[in-house]
Amino acid sequence: MPAIYNNYSIEPTPTPAPKVSVTDFHPSDSPDDDYVTLMNDTGGTLDLTGWWLKAESQEGRYNFPGGFMLASGSSVNVRSGVGTDTPTDLFVGLPYSLWTVDYNCVYVRDADGNLQDEQCVSDEPAPPETPSSVYISGFNPSSIPEGDYVTIYNSAGESFNLTGWWMKAESESGRYDFPEDFILSAGDSVNVRSGVGTDTNSDLFIGGSYSLWTSQNNCAYLRYNDGTLLDVKCVE
């Protein structure tokens, strides 16, 4: 329904339909046979130069080859392993399988970084009715890695030992594992900073040489030690 301001009707801006969508996963213990299928949903051929694909749980990202064309209604399999690229099969070049990981998710972005589609290998269990008491409360983007951080807050009335808990940024490689026996006290928060520094009760350092949270639409995933997703938020 359009919003009304001073007797003027303003239609909401529709969300554009994705140009490329994830249509299926084909998990396999053999990396060359382990793939995700993408389809061109538009009425014309797309040049995927500069487009990229990222798996949440694994390092790095896959950049589509320069000049790779995907015809209207056609699909391409992006395989985890090593092989020779063809119009229907592309190879990430990994020695392991991406899509055999439970709840692993794929993110497809165009050359401008716009998210085209995101799908998970299998649906995660339904989140509890009561949200996690430890959650992502905000971001502080900065071009200086040590000043660039995401804040984790404990709203509960008790302390939590974050041993084994971990956090992952969608657009970057690797993940951050909280230090052994790190205690987040009731009502306290901790800033997880991109750069290098000495850990304290209020500041932890990933140890990177670049800033994570200056990337528009980058998302942070906070997980318990068994992989359960506790919270996800994106930089706006």
- Tell me: the pLDDT tens digits for 113-154? 888 988 888 765 544 455 689 999 999 999 999 999 999 999
Sheet containing 35-40, strands listed edge to edge, beginning at the edge strand earlier in sequence: 20-26, 35-40, 75-79, 89-91
Q: How far apart are CA 178 and CA 163, in angstroms?
A: 6
- Most confident range (mean pLDDT) of 5-19, 51-65, 126-140 is 51-65
pTM (2 d.p.)? 0.54
Kindly state the average pLDDT of the residues 179-186: 95
**What confidence score (pLDDT) does residue 16 get?**
56
- The CATH label, of 2.60.40.1260, 1.10.3720.10, 3.60.20.30, 3.10.105.10, for the domain at 134-234 is 2.60.40.1260
Determine the average pLDDT of the residues in 147-165.
94
Q: Where do you find CATH 2.60.40.1260 in the chain?
A: 20-120, 134-234
Distance CA 25, CA 35 (A): 6
CATH architecture of the domain 20-120 equals Sandwich (2.60)
Ranges 12-21, 198-207, 223-232, most confident: 198-207
Amino acid at 110: D
The pLDDT assigned to 131 comes to: 63
- pLDDT beyond 70 at 1: no
